[in-house]
Amino acid sequence: MNIQIEEGVALAPLTTMLVGGAARFFVRITGASQISEVVSFARAKNIPLLVLGGGSNVLIPDTGFSGLVMKVECKGISFELDEGNRVRMIVGAGERWDYVVLSAVLERLWGIENLSLVPGTLGGAIVQNIGAYGVEVCDSVLWVEAYDMQTMKTKIFLRSECMFGYRTSIFKTNRNLIVVRAALELGREEKAQTDYEDVKKYFLTQNNNAPSLEDIRCAIIAIRTAKMPAPPLGTAGSFFKNPVVSVDVFESLKKTYPEIKAYVQRDGTIKLSAAWLLDKVCGWRGVRRGNVGVYKKQSLVLVNYGGASAQEILNLAQKMRGSLFQKTGIVLEEEVVIL
């Protein structure tokens, strides 16, 4: 056996929320060739398989996981010249996402700098189709290599086959697919994306009309750091998705809440700011319930102040969802994957 199976491994320290029980079985993999052996082990035991990356977007139950947890630690970053000013950046699924962004910036490559400081790994970024400050990772994906547990083979998915959507992809909806690596198509041509409100305000205060690649990365880090809690507080980042509604629903809400924050989507629908709704409509920002609470600077962020259980977090999230639905009729969906 080329893999080392452990038993009873605590999962809480492997997640950014810092809650949850232990895994019955646990294994770390560093290459796609090991996945078949892991899958075969799970099938022989007739137990479920959970893929874990950086643990930044998952909530492990207090009872833990009764199957096999496979932590993907496939590393490697390389660059290939493409047509024109484009460069192909090939990244292993286990690489820390912010290190991927830093590596791109150091190579003078534009495209993912607005995604600086997003926690997690490359694999998780692809699965979740992470987005921040007007940019989504799918904007730069050229192809994704994934292992299919049904065929027991790897397959290349072109961007058009990845079924990317708002915080989703085929790798999130099809649990048989395990991301191994991906190619990001980045450019050397300066293309600053500073239209997002927070980014625009930052550079106005800096009196900077032509920010460099490094300037944008520094700005994003400063903005995120000011909004997000730092260790030892546990958090999974934005707990809820921003709700998307029709124009009619938006206009109706605007009559009651004239200051509501909203963004028109390409298909004509309206994306509402869940943070604004939870803060201004429901008053959740800064509320604490025992060991858990809503972060004082960002109402989308749920916080483990220490010693919290997964159930406490779920109870708080349920109350938040219920209060918003009662006041607006809007149903919030969790961005965090709840096992």
State the residue for tokens 């290599």: 145
With vertex at residue 122, the alpha carbon angle to CA 201 and CA 217, rounded to the nearest 5 degrees, is: 25
**Residues in contact with 60: Cβ distance below 8 Å, sequence separation at least 6, in sequence order:** 11, 12, 15, 17, 19, 20, 21, 310, 339
Catalytic residues: 167, 238, 335
Coil, strand, or helix at residue 138? helix
Half-sphere exposure of 101 (CA within 13 A, CB side): 26
Rounded CA-CA distance 191/220 in Å is: 15
Contact assessment for residue 324 and residue 277, using Cβ atoms and an 8 Å cutoff: yes
Rounded CA-CA distance 124/147 in Å is: 15
CA dist 293 → 56, 285, 317, 320 (Å): 18, 9, 9, 11
Rounded CA-CA distance 287/306 in Å is: 15
Under DSSP, the state recorded for 168 is B
Coil, strand, or helix at residue 221? helix
**Residues in contact with 203: Cβ distance below 8 Å, sequence separation at least 6, in sequence order:** 194, 209, 211, 215, 219
